[in-house]
Amino acid sequence: MTKLLTFILAILLLFTILRPSFAEIKSLKIISDSRSMILFERFGFTHTGHATIYVSSVSVLSSLASPDPSRLGFFLLAEESLIQVLVELQQNPSLCVLDSKYINLLFTFRDLSPPPHSSFNHSYPITSPNEYSLFFANCAPESTVSMDVHTELYNLDGRGLVKDYLSAGLTLLPALYFFFSVLYFAFFAFWGYICLTNKKSVHRIHTVMGLLVIMKALNLLCAAEDKHYVKVTGTPHGWDVLFYIFQFIRVVLLFSVIVLIGTGWSFLKPFLQEKEKKVLMIVIPLQVLANVASIVIGETGPFIKDWVTWNQVFLLVDIICCCAIIFPIVWSIRSLRETSKTDGKAARNLAKLTLFRQFYIVVIGYLYFTRIVVFALRTISAYKYQWVANAVEEIVSLAFYVVIFYMFRPVEKNEYFVLDDEEEEAAELALRDEEFEL
């Protein structure tokens, strides 16, 4: 029973952190599975919600006596009932979760049609709107289960005619993602205009930054189409493949741009030092691994045995990458600080130090908001307002792009480098008094 409690807490904690949406129609195959509980989906229902479950080809094998079919079945568990169920199981370790008074029992294997079909098909109306998790429980000792499972979780519109396969808190995501994709396309057009009007000041990093913006726009456009088709039909119609492709390119470019700007590549120096190359060689392969984990998480679900492991891999890799990209910025600040003592260009070095210090603060703020603040919003938001966390994340991301692109825009008369003698003297005093330490 201790393992069962650990399993439930780990799965639902990861759901809270990542808020994955397994709302689309799912057809799954469970083969010789001995787990006592399997989480299939989590979904926010309105008062017009329905849960349709079809199981077939069910077989139960046990090394002991023939298992009692009433000890195996499906149930829905509301989020606020989780604690009560855990307390109930702790007080009575021999209690089967199917007997808990805090769950919504759907059916047990006693309701299956007789062999050889061994199937069951039923649609359940949701009488109490809430966010529910769909579980399968196996309380038969020393037994394994094999079965085909088809699930459809959806809400109906006000007229009760149109199905919405997105969770109640995510139904606004298609419009939200499309709106931000339009903003990024406009951003890309404006960035192209700035680069064309300042050709002499354009460096290779500006081209990479433009590529990042267009990948972000395409990523959001595919996300909007993906969610739209899931919302309407229950399946992404191939848009998920394009979404993962552009997401992979976008994330690799984002971390690479932060690292390259942090090193001053192309606009301060035409090459990368060995230690800076090593950071890229660490970050890019890790991002490949993170995207593989993201695909596994998004395209499978908590019903697979290694789902928790893949989530842990994703979170660990993300933390490592976020830490790694800070080092080049710190190295550049320290290098500029040392250079300012010997090259006689105090004002220019002060401007560069100020710029990189601001860049460091912006990057830290972006990572903090998109990891910590967004997580907090997802944790405290009611299930009907899950989209708010997504909206905040996109707003913060857009603000980050705008600030960074403004700071490192191509301008012929860059304000940081147009200086007179008085500014030079003032900068020398500032560098002497101000230790640009982080």
139: Cβ contacts below 8 Å, ≥ 6 apart: 36, 71, 72, 96, 97, 98
For residues 156 and 162, the answer to whether their CB atoms sit within 8 Å is yes
Query: Cα separation of 318 and 2, whole Å?
Result: 30
Give yes or no for a cis peptide into 410 (omega within 30° of 0). no
Task: Read off the pLDDT band of 321 (50, 70, 90).
Answer: confident
d(CA 12, CA 5): 11
User: CB within 8 A of 229, min separation 6: which ones?
Assistant: 235, 236, 237, 239
The reported pLDDT for the residue numbered 417 is 40
**230-234, 322-326, 400-404: segment of lowest average pLDDT:** 322-326
What's the mean pLDDT when you consider all of the chain? 82
Residue 73 host element (H or E): strand 72-78
pLDDT (average), residues 90-111: 90
The pLDDT, as a whole number, for residue 225 is: 96
Phi, psi angle pair for 67, to nearest 5°? -70, 150
pLDDT tens for each residue of 164-216? 999 999 999 999 999 999 999 999 999 999 999 988 888 888 999 999 999 99
The token pair at 172 is: 């606004």
Helices (H) and strands (E) counted in the chain, each on its own, are 12, 9
Residue 270 binned pLDDT confidence (cut-offs 50, 70, 90): low
Across residues 256-271, what is the average pLDDT?
72
11: β partners:
none
Coil, strand, or helix at residue 342?
A: coil
| Nearby residues of 60 by Cβ (< 8 Å), 6 or more positions away | 67, 69, 72, 109, 140, 143, 144, 145, 146
**Of 285, 279, 255, which is closest to residue 331 (Cα–Cα)?**
279
CA distances from 197 to 191, 194, 410, 416 (A): 10, 5, 9, 19
Specify the 3-state DSSP secondary structure of 394: helix
Please write the tens of the pLDDT for every residue from 24-62: 788 889 999 888 888 888 899 999 999 999 999 999 998
The pTM is what? 0.83
CA 326 to chain centre: 21
Record the tokens describing residue 56, joined without a space.
């077939």
CA distance 42 to 21: 7
User: 77, 69, 50: which is closest to 140 by C-alpha?
Assistant: 69
In this prediction, residues 116-129 reach a mean pLDDT of 90
Cα three-residue angle 179-183-184, rounded to 5 degrees: 115
Q: How far is 338 from 417, CA to CA, in rounded Å?
A: 19
pLDDT for 424 equals 46
C-alpha to C-alpha distance for 262 and 17, rounded to whole angstroms: 29
State mean pLDDT over 259-278. Answer: 68
The residues near 34 (Cβ < 8 Å, ≥ 6 apart) are 138, 143, 144, 145
The predicted pLDDT at position 21 comes to: 45
Strand order in the sheet with 130-138: 37-45, 130-138, 72-78, 104-108
pLDDT (0 to 100) of residue 227: 94
pLDDT band at 350 (very low <50, low <70, confident <90, very high): low
Q: Which residues of 345-354 are buried (b: 16+ CB within 10 A; e: fewer)?
A: bbbbbbbbbb
Cα 298 to Cα 227: distance, rounded to the nearest angstrom: 13
Backbone angles phi, psi at 51, to 5 degrees: -125, 115
Question: Could you tell me if residue 370 is left (phi over 0), alpha (psi between -120 and 50 degrees) or otherwise beta?
Answer: alpha
CA dist., res. 98 & res. 106, Å (int):
10
Taking Cα atoms as reference points, which of 269, 201, 237 lies closest to residue 415? 201
